[in-house]
Structure 1
Amino acid sequence: MKAVSGLSNKIIVKEKVLVKESYSYVDKYLDRDNEIKIYEQLSNLKNDFMIIPFEWKINKTQMVSKTEFFDNAITLHETDICVNKMKSIIKIISKIHNLELIDIKVFNPKEFLNFFIKNTKECLFDLDFIKDQVNLIIDNYWSDNSKPVFSHNDLVKGNFINYKKGWKIIDFEYAMYNHYLFDYASFISESLNKKRWNVFLNLLNLSEAELNKITNLILYQNYLWIYWASYMFEQTNDQIFKDIAKEKFENIK
């Protein structure tokens, strides 16, 4: 990896080991017990598409994990996301969704969003103009009766790395069971320029109903991450969270 940084954890690289130490204000909204259950089960699987920690523990209230560090790896930040890369990402997402884990939480869109709404003094952007629409999306989240699938839930560019000529996914902090379209919506809203959204959507070959659903999930996620960024800015006073909120707001204007 050419750059190592973390928004949710303190990251230290030493002797080809990446050590992540969680921040207390992040532990308040992430379920670390659920995360450990995921690592325990994923560590028993042979795979060529994800990298998980080889060691993890909760030290008092802090989550600490260790993962192999690859010096020459790159992330999606450092390359153009062409159609072939999009196809590779779609294959990885499909493989994740086909994993069968037990006793893992199911994502609750209302509960997760409400944490940030309740714990943020002032949102960085006025979102009242789409509040009712987002609430309707939440109310109808499972209206298609789809079966939840194991999902990564945080498909930012930095969570994809390439080494030995293959793309792999890292960082399962937010992973839970979720709607099968959530990860695709996550990749679109988190990693793609808005001008490229339709290119990726066309590769998915979705029905009209699925297109409507994924459009709603993209809106929900942009709304969610604006509140998340507002919360994180209040905790850290770091300009990067203002930048993230602005980017997400541009997506929903």
Structure 2
Amino acid sequence: MENKIKAILGNNIQFTPTNLGLTNNIYKGKIGFENVAIRIPKEETKELSAFNNEKNVLPLIKDLDLDVPEIYYDPETRVRITRWIPNAIEYKLCHDEDKIERVAKILKKFHGANLKSGVDFNCVALLNEYRSHIKDLLHPLDDYYHLISDIQQIHNEHILCHNDLVSGNLLFTKEKDYLIDYEYAKDNDPLFDIMSFFTENKITDSNLRNRFYAAYFDSPLTPIQIKQLSIYESFHNLLWCTWANMMYDLLHEEIYLEIANDKYNALKISAQ
């Protein structure tokens, strides 16, 4: 890993590992007087199809001024180096009262651009891909595959979506808010993205969700939208429980076991 980084940036770079990233190794480095974030994919995740559209997305979102400034990017290896944003706080660690409205405004700007990458986020195919890599199933996930038929009945227009709205991909500073890490970004239903944010950040409180809706939507939710969001909630829990099970099979790291258990418990509740 050290040789890879030095081959890209030269021997004068200083860098240290961080505890950030699940499918990537994230390092904090220094080039001259500038601090940088260095993302290097883990070997075990290089062949997964989920990441094959990032090279198309990054040029599309550049003018939205939501991502952190890029210094280096290799689409073949997915190694990416960006500026390190000082004093940035991720969503779950931010204590500002209006943080949920700020996320809604970020997503409204992102979705409101109506961008299309030409590559669809096929969540069903992704689910099946993750399932195919699992040798030891931690939970009876196949019992919930009936959710696929519900997903396939939703026919909303697909535009560019982020699809991975975990806390660490939403950064706040006093000057600006950021949406980062577009590895999963493909064309999808914006409602899927909204539920990605809710499920990944364990936002189950109806008041918080309603505050988000008020800041994001220009009119009240329709009964159809409410039903579709509910379907997406269960499917998200199934998809990412399957992903975590796969990652635990590949890496045998406890963090993935914790995620798999957490998502399965959420799945049992949401799919009732």
**Is the structural similarity TM-score above 0.5?**
yes
Distance apart, 1:198 and its partner CA = 5.1
- SS of residue matched to 2:260: helix
Match of residue 54, structure 1, among 44, 68, 71: 71
Distance apart, 1:206 and its partner CA = 1.3
Distance apart, 1:77 and its partner CA = 2.6
Runs of 4+ in 1 over 6 A off after TM superposition: none
Distance apart, 1:182 and its partner CA = 0.8
How far apart are the structure 1 equivalents of 2:61 and 2:211?
A: 31
How far apart are the structure 2 equivalents of 1:243 and 1:81?
A: 28
Give the structure 1 partner of residue 197 of structure 2. 187
How far apart are the structure 1 equivalents of 2:84 and 2:19?
A: 10
Give the structure 1 partner of residue 217 of structure 2. none
Distance apart, 1:110 and its partner CA = 1.5
Aligned CA distance change for structure 1 residues 6 and 197 (closer, same or farther; 3 Å): farther
Give the structure 1 partner of residue 111 of structure 2. 97
Aligned sequence identity (%):
25
Give the structure 2 partner of residue 25 of structure 1. 44
Give the structure 1 partner of residue 20 of structure 2. 5
How far apart are the structure 2 equivalents of 1:161 and 1:250?
A: 27
RMSD: 2.0
Q: TM-score, normalised by structure 1?
A: 0.87
Rg: which structure is higher? Answer: 2
- SS of residue matched to 1:120: coil
Match of residue 135, structure 2, among 121, 131, 135: 121
Distance apart, 1:42 and its partner CA = 2.5
TM alignment of 1:174-213, pairs within 5 A:
174-194=184-204, 196-197=205-206, 199-201=208-210, 203-204=212-213, 205-213=220-228
Aligned CA distance change for structure 1 residues 198 and 120 (closer, same or farther; 3 Å): farther
Distance apart, 1:12 and its partner CA = 1.3
Q: TM-score, normalised by structure 2?
A: 0.81
Distance apart, 1:78 and its partner CA = 1.2
- SS of residue matched to 1:54: strand
Match of residue 41, structure 1, among 36, 60, 67: 60
| Counterpart code for 2:39 | K
**Contact conserved, 2:51 with 2:184, CA < 8 A, in 1?**
no
Pair 1:14-2:14 in alignment:
no
How far apart are the structure 1 equivalents of 2:161 and 2:203?
A: 22
How far apart are the structure 2 equivalents of 1:106 and 1:46?
A: 21
Aligned CA distance change for structure 1 residues 4 and 74 (closer, same or farther; 3 Å): farther
Match of residue 232, structure 2, among 193, 217, 221: 217
Aligned length: 241
How far apart are the structure 2 equivalents of 1:225 and 1:31?
A: 13
Give the structure 2 partner of residue 75 of structure 1. 90
Give the structure 1 partner of residue 11 of structure 2. none
**Contact conserved, 2:50 with 2:126, CA < 8 A, in 1?**
no
How far apart are the structure 2 equivalents of 1:215 and 1:81?
A: 28
Pair 1:141-2:160 in alignment:
no
**Contact conserved, 1:30 with 1:174, CA < 8 A, in 2?**
no
Match of residue 240, structure 1, among 255, 259, 267: 255
Aligned CA distance change for structure 1 residues 118 and 224 (closer, same or farther; 3 Å): same
Distance apart, 1:67 and its partner CA = 0.8
Distance apart, 1:32 and its partner CA = 4.5
How far apart are the structure 1 equivalents of 2:109 and 2:193?
A: 12
How far apart are the structure 2 equivalents of 1:127 and 1:52?
A: 40
How far apart are the structure 1 equivalents of 2:90 and 2:173?
A: 9
Distance apart, 1:28 and its partner CA = 2.0
Residue by residue over 1:196-249, the C-alpha shift from the partner in whole angstroms, topping out at 9 and shown as x without a partner, is 255314642311110100110011010000100001011111100111111111
Pair 1:173-2:183 in alignment:
yes
| Counterpart code for 1:250 | N
How far apart are the structure 1 equivalents of 2:164 and 2:228?
A: 18
Distance apart, 1:53 and its partner CA = 3.0
How far apart are the structure 1 equivalents of 2:195 and 2:104?
A: 11
Match of residue 227, structure 1, among 219, 237, 242: 242
